[in-house]
Amino acid sequence: MKAYICEKYGPPEVLQLNEINKPVPGENDVLIKVHATTVNAADCNTRGLTYIPTGMNTLAKLMLGWSKPKVSILGSVLAGEVVEVGSKVGSFKPGDRVYGTGPKMGGYAEYAAWPEEGALTKIPDKISFEQAAVVPYGALTALYFLSELANVKSGQSILINGASGGVGSYAVQLACHFGAEVTGVCSTKNLEFVRELGAHHVIDYKDQDPAENGNLYDAIFDVVVGKTSYKRFKKSLKPEGYYLAVAGGLKEMVSMIGTSFGKGKKVKFGGGSSSEKLEYLEFLGTLLEKGELKPYIDRQFSFEEMVEAHRYTESGSRRGSVAITIP
């Protein structure tokens, strides 16, 4: 089968399309013919340490691989069709359309053997493989921070800093779904898009500093890499508000510990595999089915255009996410 192999850290060109053996599923695995994948921060970090926040490089390399990526086939998300199941698999059968995400990666290939257990589930009927592939990463992250860490609910006011991107576009939709009053921050070209996602108010960061508008929020969801700062946004939080440092680094990790005792404003940091829960993916599936959550594909690339898709994603000019079709 064809697969992109990544044998060293570097620019998108380190991804090499090779012919390798099709994986053999173990007794608890499902073999999936991959039809679509995406490019997200996890893929870019594993390939090129692109979005590692300040102060986190050593920790990131310990986790991702010291001198080269530990996993050779990237693709943290996949959408495809089950073609074979291991002897102990009970929840899937050949022919099922599935999508999911997992730390094992492997979605940048024609076939992947993934464990049955984990964030893997059936794709809702009306959703295409490409649409399914752009949901898990951003939407699971947004759901984890908004729901599990900040318990966002009806009547609260939420600021989403970085509202038009791969994570923020779901954070806006989910915060609206939970009944919050949402303010989305992005650049001029994306203001209309963020309004379409459901934001009640929008701020153009090129015109106005969202930390200096005098408003107070119950939660601030900050997904702007390199600009995340609790110090900057602290004054914009209500007395028991949450600063959700989605793209946070060492400073926010320290602030999280410092604010974890007693009452008052809290910093929350983390995510990653903690957000990859089956129950969350199933919840998102019900929203997709009812049309209450929409996947946004900025551009669709062919499998052969993987390097370009990585380059485009890292250019920072996309709305929502990119999808990659695997024939």
Ligand X SMILES: NC(=O)c1ccc[n+]([C@@H]2O[C@H](COP(=O)([O-])OP(=O)(O)OC[C@H]3O[C@@H](n4cnc5c(N)ncnc54)[C@H](OP(=O)(O)O)[C@@H]3O)[C@@H](O)[C@H]2O)c1
CB of 269 to ligand X, least distance (A): 7
Pick one of 56, 122, 205, 292: the residue that binds ligand X (CB under 6 A).
Answer: 205
Query: Nearer Cβ to ligand X, position 161 or 255?
Result: 161
29/131 with CB nearer ligand X = 131
Contact set for ligand X, span 41-80 (CB under 6 A): 41, 51
Number of residues in contact with ligand X under rule CB under 6 A: 28
Residues 14-43, one symbol each (x = binds ligand X by CB under 6 A, - = not), give --------------------------xx--
Q: What burial class does residue 59 get, using C-beta atoms within 10 Å of its C-beta: 0-12 exposed, 13-18 middle, 19+ buried?
A: middle
State whether residue 198 is helix, strand or coil. Answer: coil
Single out the segment in contact with ligand X by CB under 6 A; choices: 29-37, 150-158, 250-258, 267-275. 267-275
Q: Which of 3, 186, 267, 323 binds ligand X (CB under 6 A)?
A: 186
Task: Confirm or reject binding of residue 225 to ligand X (CB under 6 A).
Answer: yes
- Applying CB under 6 A, among 60, 224, 250, 278 the residue interacting with ligand X is 224
Please report, as a single letter, which amino acid is at residue 116: E
Three-state DSSP string of 283-308: HHHHHHHCCCCCCCEEEEEEHHHHHH
Own/partner pairs, 155-158, CB within 8 angstroms, 24+ separation: 155/179, 155/180, 155/181, 156/180, 156/181, 156/218, 156/219, 157/181, 157/182, 157/183, 157/215, 157/216, 157/217, 157/218, 158/182, 158/183, 158/217, 158/218, 158/219, 158/220, 158/221
Residue 91 and residue 290: Cα distance in Å, rounded?
Answer: 23
Q: How far is the CB of 60 from ligand X (least distance, A)?
A: 10
The residue within the footprint of ligand X, chosen from 36, 39, 175, 246 (CB under 6 A), is: 246
CB of 76 to ligand X, least distance (A): 10
Residue 190 found at the interface with ligand X (CB under 6 A): yes
* Torsion on CA atoms 75, 77, 81, 84, rounded to nearest 10: 70
**Which is nearer to ligand X, 141 or 157 (by Cβ)?**
141
Smallest distance, Å, CB 291 to ligand X? 22
Comparing CA positions, the residue from 52, 77, 50, 46 lying closest to residue 64 is 46
Binding to ligand X by CB under 6 A, coded x per residue (else -) over 288-327, reads ----------------------------x-x---------
Say how many Å lie between the first and final Cα of the chain, rounded. Answer: 12
3-state secondary structure of 56: coil
Q: Which region among 77-85, 118-126, 270-278, 284-292 touches ligand X (by CB under 6 A)?
A: 270-278
Q: Give the contacts of 209 (CB within 8 A, at least 6 positions apart).
A: none
Residues 112-151 that bind ligand X (CB under 6 A): 141
In the complex, minimum distance from the CB of residue 126 to ligand X, in angstroms, rounded to a whole number: 25
Q: Does 168 bind ligand X (CB under 6 A)?
A: yes
Report d(CA 94, CA 256) in Å as an integer: 45
Nearer to ligand X, 32 or 247 (CB): 247
Phi, psi (5° rounding) for residue 31? Answer: -95, 125
Residues that bind ligand X (CB under 6 A): 40-41, 51, 141, 161-168, 185-187, 190, 205, 223-225, 227, 246-247, 271-272, 275, 316, 318
